Structure 1
Amino acid sequence: MTIIAFAHTKGGVGKSTLCLLIASELARGGTNVLIVDADQKQQSCLQWVKRCGEAGTLPQTLQAVAVTKTEELKLALKRTDADVILIDVQGSMNDLLIAAIVASDLTLVPTKANVIEMVETVKLFEWAETNLKRAPLRLVLNRVDGIDTNTAAFQDAVRMIRDNKLPTLPTFVRSRKVYEQFARDAGTLSGIARDPSKVEQVAKAQNNIIGLITDMTSTIEQTA
């Protein structure tokens, strides 16, 4: 069983949507996926699973549970009915975030490519390196618009990554309208592709997420 956490000390970086996209794509391929929603306030992942269940779009091999305490998290991670467990935690430094990172084979730290987001990201990596040496963290540039890579803000963010030697996955996640549609109750990106006008957009989005999953798998193998 593989355990992956999605963590940041700041909210609004796109953790939950990224967690759901990866969970959905894995489940679409037949992997048994359990999402552990450890965001005590929003429970965005759990709510999405409920919406998709009601809409009849939820992949059969995808399920979710909510936890509010570290003891509940530990129990959830002992379940044997999942090949992959994804943990989504609240955007703040708390006991659940620490427990999720410690328990995981890999922690993804989604971050927008700007200096404000990067400052908090650097702090998280520095804290983890000092206090949690065994837990591998990888930064994921998230919600990158098409023109972002040519901007000074993006280049400043990249410079901070290099200067602070932050381990970063090669694939960054583009900002896409189909991700917003997926986040309502689509269940899978493939479900959106039933609209002929969305086929090309969905194909690009799926390739983006599959590329990220490939990076994650490679990283886990290298750090095992």
Structure 2
Amino acid sequence: MTILAFAHSKGGVGKSTLCLLIASELARSGTRVLIIDADHLQQSCLQWTERCRAANSLAATLSTEPASKPDDLKRILKSTKADIVLIDVQGSMHDLLIAAIVASDLTLVPSKANVMEMIETVKLFEWATILKRAPLRLVLNRVDGIDTNTTAFRDAVRMIREHRLPALPTFVRARKIYEQFTRDAGSLHHIARDPSKAEQVVKARANILGLIADITAAIDLPASKDGSE
């Protein structure tokens, strides 16, 4: 079993959406995926699963369970038969965040590429150094096409280098189609049934599959079976 955590010290960085995108791609390949929704205030993943189930768009191998304290997390991890577990943690420093990071094979830290977000990201990486087992990787998230040419982006990259933050090479681009996905689509592939969205879906899936390939290179994670698409 492979365990991935999605964590940050603050909300609004897009970690739940990223968790769902990765989970849906892995589940579509037939992998048994469990999302542990450890953000008991928002429960974004749990609510998404319920909406998709109602819309009959949820992959058969994808499920979600809530966790509100470390004991819940331990119990679920001990009993699950999933191949891959993704833990979405509330955006603040607390015991459940520690438990998720320590339990994971890799913790993804999504962040927007600006100085304000990067300051908080640096704090999380520095705080995590006190843990005995804390393999963290930064993921630049919601990157607009023009962002890479801005001073804000260059300043963020400089902070990453100065603080030697380990980052995955794939940027997750900002895409309107992700908004449709988070309603009740179940997967990006499901959206492609609309021919007008097919090209957008191809680009979006390629982006997420690229990120999964990065994760696969970092840990022994089964790649999506149709990752060549």
- Does the pair score TM above 0.5? yes
Q: Could you say which residue in structure 1 is the equivalent of 2:210?
A: 211
1:56 matched residue in structure 2: 56
Match in the other structure for 1:22: 22
The equivalent of 2:227 in structure 1 is none
What corresponds to 2:145 in structure 1? Answer: 146
Letter in 1 for 2:108: L
The equivalent of 1:202 in structure 2 is 201
Residue pairs, 1:128-207, within 5 angstroms: 128-129=128-129, 131-207=130-206
Query: Which of structure 1's runs of 4+ aligned residues deviate more than 3 A?
Result: none
SS at match of 1:59: coil
Q: What TM-score do the two structures reach when normalised by structure 2?
A: 0.95
CA distance, structure 2, for counterparts of residue 32 and residue 61 of structure 1: 5
Question: For each residue in 1:165-213, what CA deviation from the matched residue of structure 2 results, as whole angstroms up to 9, or x when unmatched?
Answer: 0000000100001111100000010111011111110000000000001
Distance 1:205 1:61 in 2: 21
Aligned-partner SS, 1:78: helix
Unaligned runs of at least 5 residues, structure 1: none
1:47 Cα deviation after fit? 0.2
| Aligned position for 1:73 | 73
Q: Corresponding residue for 1:103?
A: 103
Residue-by-residue CA offset, 1:121-170 (whole Å, 9 max, x unaligned)? 001101112x1142200000000001000000000000000000000000
Question: What displacement does 1:15 show?
Answer: 0.5
Pairwise CA distance, 1:80: 3.6
- State the AA in 2 paired with 1:202: V
1:78-126 residue CA offsets vs partner (Å, 9 max, x unmatched): 1342000000000000111000000000000000000000000001101
Using the size of structure 1 for normalisation, the TM-score is 0.97
Distance in 2 of aligned mates of 1:177 and 1:119: 27
Q: Look up the equivalent residue of 1:193 and give its one-letter code.
A: A
Give distance in 1, aligned partners of 2:44 and 2:80: 24
Alignment deviations for residues 8-37 of structure 1 (CA, whole Å, 9 cap, x no partner): 001000010000000000000110000000
Q: Distance in 2 between matches of 1:79 and 1:144?
A: 37
Please give the secondary structure, in 2, of the residue aligned with 1:190.
helix
Cα distance, 1:221–1:58 mapped onto 2, change above 3 Å? closer
Pairs within 5 Å for 1:2-41: 2-41=2-41
Unaligned runs of 5+ in 2: 222-229
Q: Does 1:120 align with 2:128?
A: no
Instruction: Report deviation, 1:221.
Output: 4.1
CA distance in 1, matches of 2:31, 2:142: 26
